[in-house]
Chain A
């Protein structure tokens, strides 16, 4: 019985930890910057893979390449956030989302049997989950303290005025991207510690669930932010246990579409009510 509970807790932690770690920055970009960042998972995946492999000479080269790719992508994201439109940012994130599973798959194939390296395992799931919640709260508090959400909103609403009167758009974009990188790298380490085996399929739909959690938590204050991923992860675990994988995939995409529809409808009603 205890072993069963531990396994369930480990499965739940594996679903909840990525969302918990990434949601502080994800909710800002969805709620205030009105961009749908499906490519947010890259730093987390790179970090998890770096932790999972033994640091021999071959892995060292792979680690350098992975860090280089993530940093290059971070620079592109900063450029598009600072200079591009919301549509362009969403498209760019979509491209990153589409490419990620194949890249992970190729990376794991190149490693062969060495890919299944785990950290602490199921026994420490509760500790790791608590650590993820604390990290989520700390990052959400820091973001609110530095007014990153409000600055991103102002930059999105009137980019030219923001640049002339307030501050550089690049600086705000860079600050957001640094926050995302920190969230991703910490999240990747925690995922490695709780996962029994890192697989490409594990990250296939993760970004969608992060986006769904972030959409729900977009209007929360910092102390309520962890509630959204914790609740969504319960739903995910139930779906995973009760339905076949193909149906779960359909439900994932359908939930995303319906949620974005509903959110927009809510925003429209709010706009009319304020007017």
Chain B
């Protein structure tokens, strides 16, 4: 999740980059999740490569579509719904593909000390990647350049034609971060002996949605707090209630946003400048 948050920050396009990453993340995560882990797996490396290629091929199409959608008045609401629906469709589709395969993922030893060591290492790595990525991007102002390149058509006219590749380079960088993050996720899941994709999906989605309203540092803090609250609540109840806690947490985040910002934030008026 921390890797995805870092990747989202790379594509800090206020909405399109975030939702793009979210959808691609789902495809990438599921494709990595079906990576063969022992000899009994029906899907081979070719299947994994195929799924990964599909995920990366979808990325530019979604990227261009989202850029167009975002410019419409109130298009951001539609973006949320579309990204949510696509992400779920991807996840269900890949689950359907592997449903006939006998994938044995529970091969970790599952001892408490091993769980603690692996999860600590993964958390430290994730924090390191997120922190380093954020620091580097702040130093190079790449995110500001991307934002400028996307919002202002004059950017492409003023600078060299190569400038149009800036967002694509950022997308590639974000995807690299994603692959790292998803690999870590799969490693943790295998160690725990459980492959529960749903528990990872919605928190990442929720945090990605919160990005347009928060600075990177606050987003990281919000993400960690969100996970802590949901996990704490789950510890009190059954695991199946986790989905309800996640939904309630989203509603609470929105209430806080409305009470402390509301419509006082100046509208962005995207699309008006381009109207004939």
Contacts and interface: CB of A to CB of B under 8 A. Distances in A.
Interface in A26-65: 34-36, 38
Nearest to A95: B250
Interface in B239-268: 240-241, 243-251, 253-255, 257-258, 262-263, 265
A264 B70 CA distance: 10
A234 interface: no
A100 B81 contact: no
A38 B250 CA distance: 14
26 contacts: A34-B77, A36-B77, A36-B81, A76-B255, A80-B258, A83-B262, A85-B265, A87-B76, A89-B77, A91-B209, A92-B251, A92-B255, A95-B250, A95-B251, A96-B247, A98-B246, A100-B247, A106-B241, A159-B263, A208-B85, A247-B96, A257-B81, A264-B72, A264-B78, A271-B275, A275-B275
A257 B85 contact: yes
Interface of B: 65, 69, 72-78, 80-82, 84-86, 88-89, 92-93, 95-96, 99, 202, 209, 212, 240-241, 243-251, 253-255, 257-258, 262-263, 265, 275-276
A102 interface: yes
B243 A86 contact: no
A211 B255 CA distance: 23
B167 to A, nearest CB: 20
A91 B92 contact: no
A42 B84 CA distance: 20
A86 B146 CA distance: 25
Going nearest first, the 8 A-B pairs with the smallest beta carbon separation are A99-B247, A95-B250, A275-B276, A253-B89, A257-B85, A98-B247, A102-B244, A256-B85
A89 B76 CA distance: 11
Nearest to B87: A253
A267 interface: yes
Given A98-B247, A253-B89, A257-B89, A84 B76 contact: no
Contacts of B88: 253
A193 to B, nearest CB: 28
Contacts of A94: 80-81, 84, 250
A261 B240 contact: no
A126 B72 CA distance: 43
Contacts of A254: 85-86, 89
Nearest to A205: B88
A249 interface: yes
A113 interface: no
A97 B81 CA distance: 12
Interface in A98-142: 98-103, 105-106
A37 to B, nearest CB: 10
Interface in A229-257: 246-247, 249-250, 253-254, 256-257
Please classify the interface of chain A as helix (H, G, I), strand (E, B), loop, or mixed, using the class held by over half of its residues: helix
Given A84-B258, A160-B263, A95 B99 contact: no
B81 A250 contact: no
A174 B77 CA distance: 21
B86 A257 contact: yes
A98 B250 contact: yes
A213 interface: no
B240 A106 contact: yes
A197 interface: no
Contacts of A97: 247
B142 to A, nearest CB: 25
Contact of B257 (A38, A84, A246): A84
A35 B77 contact: yes
Given A84-B262, A250-B92, A102 B243 contact: yes
A261 B69 contact: yes
Contacts of B99: 246
Contact of B202 (A98, A211, A249): A98
B15 to A, nearest CB: 8
A103 B244 contact: yes
A100 B86 CA distance: 20
A87 B247 contact: no
A262 B240 CA distance: 35
Given A80-B258, A91-B209, A102-B243, A96 B251 contact: yes
A227 interface: no
Interface in A162-202: none
A272 B65 CA distance: 18
- Interface-central residue, A86, A95, A211, A246, by most chain B CB under 10 Å: A95
- Interface-central residue, A36, A38, A99, by most chain B CB under 10 Å: A99
Contacts of A268: 72
B244 A106 contact: yes
A8 interface: no
Contact of B276 (A96, A99, A272): A272
Contacts of A247: 96
